[in-house]
Amino acid sequence: MTAGDPTVGIPPATVVEPGSVADLASVLQAMAPLDPASVLFVTAAATALVGAVVAAIAYRGYRRNDSESMGFLALGIVCFAVAPFLLTYGVGPVAALSDAETLLSVLCANIAGLLAVLHSLDGV
């Protein structure tokens, strides 16, 4: 290996020759020291946290202006940003839901959230 070699610093087990088929899982595992489940949890938690902040701002607008639209917007944001995290990592394990039941509950929360946002924007 030379200084201009792109494989410098990569363990020999993970070097892939151009045009060869390699075990992609082992390459990705060597490149990503984090557990995918942990990354998923942190990402979902961050989404729920940011969603809760945005929903709180919308709810404050609802309270300040007595605006029904802002109330439905806050509800919609909670349904599609916060509820999936709570359903997946809270209710699902506690209630021993299957993966399909958990996914169905998350999809129902998403639909409810989108309907609430639609109502807030269109007043249907």
Segment 31-80, tens digit of pLDDT: 557 788 888 999 999 999 999 999 999 999 999 999 999 999 999 999 99
| 3-state helix/strand/coil string of 9-64 | CCCHHHCCCCCCCCCHHHHHHHHCCCCHHHHHHHHHHHHHHHHHHHHHHHHHHHHH
Dump pLDDT digits (tens) for 71-114: 999 999 999 999 999 999 999 999 999 999 999 999 999 999 99
Question: CA-CA distance, 82 to 107, in Å (whole number)?
Answer: 13
Say if residues 121 and 76 touch (Cβ distance below 8 Å): no
The model scores a pTM over 0.75: no
How confident is the model at residue 25, as a pLDDT?
A: 60
